Structure 1
Amino acid sequence: MKTLFLFNFIQLFFFTNGLISNSTSRQRIFCVIKTFGGNLATRASTVHQTWASRCDKHVFLTAANLTKWNNTVLPILNLHDVSDNYMELSVKVFDALNQIIQEPQPYDFDWLFMADDDTYVIMEHLRELLQHTRKPLAFGHLFVPKNQAPGHLSGGAGYAINTAALRRMLPNLQTSCADWYVPGMEDVYVSRCLQHLNVSLDGAIDGYRHRFYPLEFITMYKMELPKWFSDYNSLQSYPGFDCCSTNSISFHYMKREWMHLIEWARYLHADD
């Protein structure tokens, strides 16, 4: 059974016609990968070796004391005034955004893409989605709670914010989004900030399927969906290949072995 899933996984990511895109998008993507000090040599290193290398530039976001990582080759945005734990992830992300939006303009990127260190991203598909627009906009997996609460983008699936939206955060997030610059749920608070600034949140729906996934592929394929996903999902779920778009952009909770497998199937094997 495991071999069958492995075969289907490779089918989706490699043997599908036109899978590797020749996108003509000139949009520059700055990838910011959320991680922790203890993951730098493992998850972060794998992301650095795989999909992050296809961003126009990328950094790993951590609040760790990096003394023991002085020899690391990873590009790191280190934050010193916040704890390196999940409970303060929202503050860590807001601190990072605060630094980024205050860089000299014009920015040297067009879109900022925020993801986790266990997210795998097919950058060609992301580039096909991200086109130039003056409209303040953010893309990602849009959760729509059934309790009628406002929707929000999934942090694990990753979300892309254009520079038009980032400029609305100026002069700083302590001023523009003070209510959400506190410990809490990072993806909810970033989404609330964007909504407060009149930035459109787009779920990037491909027909009847998502393109950003807050779960790994096999979970979607087998429809072993946790209750929280069903409570927040806005589309009907389907088993097998119909689970996911052939233009899928990201999957969350991906093991390092799966990342290397996709890398081999899509890129290294293609050179043989």
Structure 2
Amino acid sequence: MTHEQITFAEKIPIAPIKGIIPGYDHLTQKSVLAFLYTYENYFVDFDWFVKADDDTYLIVENLKKFLNEQNTSEPITFGYNYKTVVEKGYQSGGASYVLSRESLRRFYEAQKDRMPDCQQDGGSEDIEIAKCLRTKGVYPGKSLDKQNRELFHPFTFVDHFRGSFPDWLQQYAENPLRTHYDCCGDESISFHYVKPEEQYFMDFLLYRTHPKSNII
């Protein structure tokens, strides 16, 4: 990293979570410890708790609007739904997923109870988190708009628009895959595998470009 990047990184308010082992192979541990830390320090401060990767682009305004219509007292999660592996499916970690306050409480309880399906590390992070949540009756909710278009996306917008999907997605996706402008809801919340320069590009288009519609 350059000196400028290091200086910038030092300003990011990263929680001082102890015991985390660096590396992609320990994503489950990172998420478990992060959720436990969040429960112990921020549970009463927020209604919803979001897990996202560093290459996930979140449109926070749309996320807030979507969650404002949901009930955080229900044991429910939202994200991009896969229909396999775990009871009633699980949600893509890369597309980001959201836990209600009740879901976080039950996850914390399951971890403290040392439930057999609650891994501390190893496996696929999104699958392991889902398995643990199921032990306490937490299940995925519907994360589509009124036209049944996805709001959370496990790939980039271009991938979804073109239909450039890996073969396994057709098998795993809970909902039918759609392309072109039907690929993504007007109030989409997240995209995954978004490179740093692409995140700047999306930020520019969403927040810094202002089309003038009153010019003839």
Asked if TM exceeds 0.5, the reply is yes
Partner letter of residue 15 of structure 2? L
C-alpha contact (below 8 Å) 2:87/2:134 kept by paired residues: no
1:135 is aligned to 2:74? yes
CA RMSD of aligned residues (A): 2.6
Give 3-state SS (helix, strand or coil) of 1:264's partner.
helix
State the TM-score, normalizing by the size of structure 1.
0.68
Say which is worse superposed, 244-253 or 256-265, in terms of deviation. 256-265
Query: What's 2:111 paired with?
Result: 173
* TM-fit CA distance, 1:80: 3.5
1:219 is aligned to 2:159? yes
Determine the C-alpha separation between the residues in 2 that align with 1:71 and 1:258: 19
* TM-fit CA distance, 1:165: 1.3
User: After superposition, where does 1:63-82 map in structure 2 within 5 Å?
Assistant: 72-82=10-20
Query: What's 1:208 paired with?
Result: 148
Partner letter of residue 162 of structure 2? K
Among the aligned pairs, what percent are the same residue? 29
Determine the C-alpha separation between the residues in 2 that align with 1:129 and 1:88: 30
* TM-fit CA distance, 1:251: 0.4
Count of aligned positions: 206
* TM-fit CA distance, 1:196: 1.4
Of 211, 230, 244, which residue of structure 1 is paired with 2:170?
230
Determine the C-alpha separation between the residues in 1 that align with 2:179 and 2:135: 37
Determine the C-alpha separation between the residues in 2 that align with 1:121 and 1:70: 20
Query: What's 2:26 paired with?
Result: 88
1:258 is aligned to 2:195? no
Query: What's 1:12 paired with?
Result: none
Query: What's 2:208 paired with?
Result: 268
Determine the C-alpha separation between the residues in 2 that align with 1:140 and 1:71: 28
Partner letter of residue 121 of structure 1? L
* TM-fit CA distance, 1:239: 2.7
Q: Which runs of 5+ in 2 are unaligned?
A: none
Of 182, 185, 191, which residue of structure 2 is paired with 1:242?
182
* TM-fit CA distance, 1:208: 2.7
* TM-fit CA distance, 1:200: 2.4
Structure 1 residues 174 and 181, CA gap change in structure 2 (3 angstroms): farther
Structure 1 residues 174 and 183, CA gap change in structure 2 (3 angstroms): farther
C-alpha contact (below 8 Å) 1:140/1:159 kept by paired residues: yes
* TM-fit CA distance, 1:71: 7.1
Determine the C-alpha separation between the residues in 2 that align with 1:102 and 1:87: 25
Give 3-state SS (helix, strand or coil) of 2:62's partner.
helix
Q: Which runs of 5+ in 1 are unaligned?
A: 1-37, 43-67
**Residue by residue, what CA displacement relative to the aligned partner does 1:179-200 show, whole Å, maximum 9, x if unpaired?**
3223111100111111211112
Give 3-state SS (helix, strand or coil) of 2:150's partner.
coil
**Residue by residue, what CA displacement relative to the aligned partner does 1:234-262 show, whole Å, maximum 9, x if unpaired?**
22223321221112110000111221112
1:97 is aligned to 2:35? yes
Query: What's 1:116 paired with?
Result: 53
Say which is worse superposed, 194-203 or 163-172, in terms of deviation. 163-172
Give 3-state SS (helix, strand or coil) of 1:161's partner.
strand
